[in-house]
């Protein structure tokens, strides 16, 4: 048995608790065989209890032009995700992957279908991405059914990115479930025009610049949370926007549905769609928006939708809090194409609501 696998088995048996360097790509190659399309080409790898250090980008499959190295049907399963304490900084997870590599490069990049990452914490402080899901239609590397569940991600520039080499590739049916993403610039970024059928469910997001950014494809977010770190006035909770493909063509997002989610922001805008020519709809069902700006009688843009379709809102609630209870935040809603509202509630503590663009 090779050394990399011995590390995993030793930690599983509880024989070591110190941080251990791990060549995860070598472990996958050893247990799953070489990259590429072939019979019986997948496997499940169980990582033991403890913290593993990762010093270079782990590539599960390769999507670059001319490559035939897609990696399919691989499952990486740890012993449990956990939150990250801040003072002092440590993870409470059963299994943690901690980035020790150079700054500004991805920690984990996947090119292939039916990938599962489960019950892990990823401490990616310094990495550009915690997880990148990549496709390449031209290279016969369609990326279907990736599943990320029961994960804690922290410290990266982007928590999870869905993209393709041409940004017009099929990374379809992505499923994110029970995931905590904290201390990042952007929690979730999607930039591939054929990314459809995906679903995010019970995803916690605490970010500095953006929560969820959709440049291409569709979004279905159920039970999501967005909060912001700091007081950046340019912060956006959900951003539906444009993408420029590698061949120079310009495209933008598809339909968006946000349901049973909660957004609480101290600054910035909650939901923005800034593509005037876009005809895809935005559907909001049973969400709550908490206005927490700190200046007296401040105003926050809850929804700014510049697309051609009216915004559908059903059963959404707007609430507010502030240091001075006599000068509560005001809410503004902007949609030049109109509204389809049913049962929207503006709670009494909100300082006022304006249904018009600035």
Residue 64 has pLDDT above 50, yes or no: yes
Q: Which two tokens stand for residue 271?
A: 């939901």
Cβ–Cβ contacts within 10 Å for residue 325, how many?
Answer: 9
**Angle CA(132)–CA(162)–CA(159) in degrees, nearest 5?**
55
User: Token pair 């799953």 is at which residue?
Assistant: 32
pLDDT for 218: 94
Nearest Cα neighbor of 229 from 193, 261, 268 is 268
Q: How confident is the model at residue 65 (pLDDT cuts 50, 70, 90)?
A: low
Residue 154 has pLDDT above 90, yes or no: yes
Q: Which two tokens stand for residue 311?
A: 């915004």
Average pLDDT over residues 229-246: 92
pLDDT single digits (tens) 202-219: 999 999 999 999 999 999
Residue 91 has pLDDT above 70, yes or no: yes
Residue 14 has pLDDT above 80, yes or no: no
Residue 142 has pLDDT above 90, yes or no: no
Mean pLDDT in the chain? Answer: 91
Spell out the residues 6+ positions from residue 70 whose beta carbon is closer than 8 angstroms to its own.
35, 36, 37, 61, 62, 63, 111, 112, 113, 139, 140, 141
Question: Out of 6-10, 103-107, 286-290, which region has the weakest mean confidence (pLDDT)?
Answer: 6-10
- How far is residue 187's CA from residue 180's CA, in Å, rounded to a whole number? 9
Judge contact between 247 and 198, C-beta under 8 A. no
Q: How confident is the model at residue 10 (pLDDT cuts 50, 70, 90)?
A: very low
Helix, strand, coil share (%) of the chain residues, nearest 5: 5, 45, 45
- How far is residue 249's CA from residue 152's CA, in Å, rounded to a whole number? 36
Residue 66 has pLDDT above 70, yes or no: no
All domains of the chain in start order, with CATH? 3-354 (2.160.20)
Largest CA distance in the chain: 69
Question: Out of 6-20, 72-86, 164-178, 280-294, which region has the weakest mean confidence (pLDDT)?
Answer: 6-20
Spell out the residues 6+ positions from residue 247 whose beta carbon is closer than 8 angstroms to its own.
166, 168
Spell out the residues 6+ positions from residue 110 whose beta carbon is closer than 8 angstroms to its own.
59, 60, 61, 71, 131, 132, 133, 134, 143, 146
- 152 vs 4, more confident: 152
To the question of pTM greater than 0.85 for the whole model, the response is yes
């Amino acid at each position: 048995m090779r050394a990399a696998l011995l590390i995993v088995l030793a930690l599983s048996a509880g024989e070591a608790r110190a941080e251990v360097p791990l060549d995860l790509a070598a472990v996958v190659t050893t247990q799953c065989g070489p990259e590429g399309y072939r019979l019986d080409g997948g496997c499940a790898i169980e990582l033991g209890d403890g913290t593993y250090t990762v010093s270079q980008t782990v590539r599960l499959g390769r999507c670059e032009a001319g490559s035939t190295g897609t990696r399919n049907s691989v499952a990486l399963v740890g012993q449990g995700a956990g939150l990250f304490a801040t003072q002092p900084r440590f993870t409470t997870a059963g299994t943690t992957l901690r980035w020790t590599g150079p700054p500004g490069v991805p920690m984990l990049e996947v090119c292939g279908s039916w990938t599962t990452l489960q019950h892990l914490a990823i401490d990616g402080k310094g990495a550009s991405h915690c997880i990148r899901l990549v496709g390449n239609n031209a290279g016969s590397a369609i990326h279907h059914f990736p599943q990320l569940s029961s994960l804690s991600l922290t410290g990266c520039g982007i928590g999870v990115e869905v993209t393709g080499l041409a940004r017009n590739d099929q990374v379809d049916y992505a499923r994110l479930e029970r995931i905590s993403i904290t201390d990042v610039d952007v929690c979730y970024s999607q930039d591939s025009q054929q990314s459809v059928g995906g679903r995010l469910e019970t995803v916690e997001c605490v970010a500095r610049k953006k929560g969820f950014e959709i440049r291409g494809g569709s979004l279905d977010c159920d039970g999501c949370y967005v909060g912001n770190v700091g007081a950046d006035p340019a912060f956006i909770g959900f951003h539906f926007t444009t993408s420029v493909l590698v061949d120079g063509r310009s495209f933008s997002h598809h339909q968006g549905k946000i349901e049973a989610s909660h957004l609480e922001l101290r600054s910035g805008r909650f939901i923005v769609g800034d593509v005037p020519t876009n005809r895809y709809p935005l559907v909001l069902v049973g969400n709550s928006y908490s206005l927490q700006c700190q200046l007296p009688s401040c105003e926050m843009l809850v929804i700014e939708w510049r697309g051609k379709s009216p915004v559908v809102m059903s059963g959404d609630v707007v609430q507010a809090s502030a240091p001075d209870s006599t000068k509560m935040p005001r809410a503004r809603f902007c949609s030049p194409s109109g509204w389809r509202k049913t049962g929207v509630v503006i709670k009494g503590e909100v300082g006022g609501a304006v249904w018009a663009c600035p």
